[in-house]
């Protein structure tokens, strides 16, 4: 090899090195451009406002306020038995000259705060002296009185409601009682009240946890939680009738095994996090991976600077758009025609995604759809009631994220148990269209008086 050939070989090697470096830099630039619109990253991770895309919007942006065609909501007046006081206003004699009084009134019902927001009941147990022994005997107080102390059942329930559903800190609750009730209550007493409620809600929480492994479908998601500065994870197990929260130090598949068992026969809806894939692989569990997450990942590829990757991603998005357009037309198409159309579009999408361009990101995505693994993305097409996305579970987690941001987490097992039981109670009562405060109050009353605990699930008649 002469000198010229050596120089050419060295230049070729340098070019190959530079091309690899360019590809690495392009991947790094593409990764830095990821945000909540084109990846599984949460909106809170967007440091700056997400860039505007050129995607066409199917409908115009709605104006603020009530929309055209929406029926006006008018609040119904209080019933006569709900009115505490009636004040009547009439004209004087001079003003009513020549007028006939009608038995008809202009009515304005107005709410006002009571001057005293609470009642104080003093419970006394008479003491008795035994002259023979000198021993003092005291008439016993009801269990609810002795276990409640200063705060009765409803006040104890109120403290827990303010701490959980209203996201108040103990200091804010102190301010609330001081300003509105003119009561001075220590943080320690407020903390004890929340723990009493936590104990009262444990039976209802445990019953839901026992039902979980028998559910036909459970959607699962998780978010971070700090306890004493250490990272834990809040898991949400969402079903059609209730949502159950579990705070655990692990984000792994062991939590799923602990909560759902090894013989779970239902369908799990989740994102593509490794814990779900491992659990499904170990125990042969059927999955419905979130299509919203998949669409965002494909959208990232469609916006990539590498043309072959971008074209491939755009084709995949087009097939998914056709799939969901058809899926939403179930009520307008004949059943057989609707199913055939979905099968045809699904087959076309799989054919496209199984032929990826020569790029690492494309090959990585295509591996998810090899063989029978593709079924874990399309179970919503064949199983009634299975949602294609995990959006419902993410909505259940939003109040938890708000609470985390305000309270900065917990400081021990007692605090974590309180959070998961109250979050479960709030989310489930909302699904059951029940009053959260009333359920907490009933649970505290049952716990202190040894009555039957209320159930979070309203059994069907």
If phi over 0 gives left and psi between -120 and 50 gives alpha, with beta otherwise, what is residue 368?
Answer: alpha
Q: Is residue 338 part of a domain?
A: yes
> How far, in whole angstroms, is CA 251 from its chain's centroid?
17
Q: Is residue 30 part of a domain?
A: no
Q: Is residue 90 part of a domain?
A: no
HEC-encoded secondary structure of 51-115? CCCCCCCCCCCCCCCCCCCCCCCCCCCCCHHHCCCCCCCCCCCCCCCCCCCCCCCCCCCCCCCCC
User: What is the mean pLDDT of the segment spanning 151-163?
Assistant: 95
Q: Is residue 339 part of a domain?
A: yes
Residue 194, pLDDT above cutoff 70: yes
As given in the structure block, the two tokens for residue 241 are 């009738």
State the Cα–Cα distance between residues 422 and 163, nearest whole angstrom: 9
In tens, the pLDDT along 56-87 reads: 545 567 777 777 778 877 889 999 999 999 99
Spatial CA neighbour of 163 closest among 402, 411, 422: 422
Cα end-to-end span (Å), the chain: 91
Q: Is residue 176 part of a domain?
A: no
User: What is the mean pLDDT of the segment spanning 383-403?
Assistant: 92
Q: Is residue 343 part of a domain?
A: yes
> How far, in whole angstroms, is CA 400 from its chain's centroid?
7
Q: Taking CA 234 as the corner, what is the angle to CA 232 and CA 235, rounded to the nearest 5 degrees? A: 130
In tens, the pLDDT along 9-48 reads: 888 888 888 888 877 777 777 666 666 666 665 555 554 4
Residue 89, pLDDT above cutoff 50: yes
Return the CA Rg of the chain: 31
Q: Is 288 helix (H, G, I), strand (E, B) or coil?
A: strand
Q: Give me the pLDDT at residue 146, please.
A: 85
Question: What are the φ/ψ torsions at residue 388 (nearest 5 degrees)?
Answer: -75, -15
CB-hemisphere CA count at 13 Å for 298?
23
Q: Give me the pLDDT at residue 46, please.
A: 54
Residue 331, pLDDT above cutoff 90: no
Q: Tokens 């001079």 map to which residue?
A: 94
> How far, in whole angstroms, is CA 351 from its chain's centroid?
35
Q: Taking the model in full, what pTM does it have?
A: 0.83
Percent of the chain with pLDDT over 90: 72
Q: Give me the pLDDT at residue 97, please.
A: 87
Q: Give me the pLDDT at residue 185, please.
A: 94
Q: Taking CA 191 as the corner, what is the angle to CA 189 and CA 193, rounded to the nearest 5 degrees? A: 70
Q: Is residue 198 part of a domain?
A: no
Number of domains into which the chain is organized: 1
In tens, the pLDDT along 410-431 reads: 999 999 999 999 999 999 999 9
State the Cα–Cα distance between residues 323 and 2, nearest whole angstrom: 61
Range of the domain at 302: 291-386
Residue 461: pLDDT band by 50, 70, 90 thresholds?
very low
Residue 297, pLDDT above cutoff 60: yes
DSSP-derived letter for residue 35 is -
DSSP-derived letter for residue 30 is H
Q: Is residue 251 part of a domain?
A: no
């Amino acid at each position: 090899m002469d000198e010229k050939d050596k120089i050419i070989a060295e230049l070729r090697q340098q070019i190959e090195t530079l091309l690899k470096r360019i590809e690495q830099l392009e991947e790094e630039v593409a990764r830095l451009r990821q945000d909540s619109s084109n990846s599984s990253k949460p909106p809170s991770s967007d440091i700056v406002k997400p860039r505007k895309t050129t995607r066409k919007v199917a409908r115009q942006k709605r104006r603020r306020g009530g929309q055209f065609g929406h029926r006006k909501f008018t609040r119904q007046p209080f019933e006569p038995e709900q009115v505490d006081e009636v004040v009547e206003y009439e004209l004087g004699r001079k003003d009513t000259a020549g007028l006939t009084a009608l038995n008809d009134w202009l009515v304005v019902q107005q709410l006002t705060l009571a001057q005293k927001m609470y009642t104080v009941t003093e419970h006394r147990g008479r003491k008795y002296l035994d002259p023979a022994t000198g021993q003092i005997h005291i008439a016993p107080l009801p269990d609810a009185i002795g276990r409640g102390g200063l705060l009765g059942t409803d006040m104890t329930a109120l403290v827990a409601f303010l701490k959980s559903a209203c996201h108040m800190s103990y200091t804010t609750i102190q301010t609330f009682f001081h300003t509105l009730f003119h009561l001075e209550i220590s943080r320690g007493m407020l903390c004890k009240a929340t723990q009493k409620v936590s104990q009262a809600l444990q039976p209802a929480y445990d019953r839901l946890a026992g039902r979980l492994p028998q559910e036909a479908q459970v959607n699962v998601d998780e978010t971070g939680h700090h306890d004493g500065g250490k990272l834990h994870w809040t898991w949400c197990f969402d079903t059609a009738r209730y949502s159950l929260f579990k705070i655990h130090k692990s984000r792994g598949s062991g939590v799923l095994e602990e909560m759902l068992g090894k013989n779970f026969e239902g369908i799990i809806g989740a994102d593509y996090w490794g814990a779900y894939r491992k659990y499904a692989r170990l125990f042969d569990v059927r999955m419905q991976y979130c299509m919203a997450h998949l669409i965002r990942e494909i959208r990232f590829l469609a916006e990539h600077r590498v043309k072959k990757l971008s074209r491939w991603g755009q084709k995949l998005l087009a097939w998914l758009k056709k799939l969901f357009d058809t899926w939403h037309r179930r009520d307008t198409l004949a059943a057989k025609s609707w199913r055939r159309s979905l099968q045809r579009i699904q087959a076309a999408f799989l054919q496209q995604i199984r032929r990826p361009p020569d790029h690492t990101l494309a090959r990585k995505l295509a591996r998810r759809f090899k063989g029978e693994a593709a079924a874990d993305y399309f179970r919503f097409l064949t199983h009634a009631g299975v949602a294609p996305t995990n959006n419902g579970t993410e909505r259940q987690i939003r109040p938890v994220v708000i609470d985390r941001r305000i309270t900065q987490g917990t400081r021990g097992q007692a605090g974590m148990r309180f959070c998961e039981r109250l979050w479960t109670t709030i989310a489930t009562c909302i699904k059951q269209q029940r009053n959260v405060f009333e359920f907490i109050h009933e649970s505290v009353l049952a716990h202190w008086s040894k009555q039957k605990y209320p159930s979070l699930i309203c059994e069907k008649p």
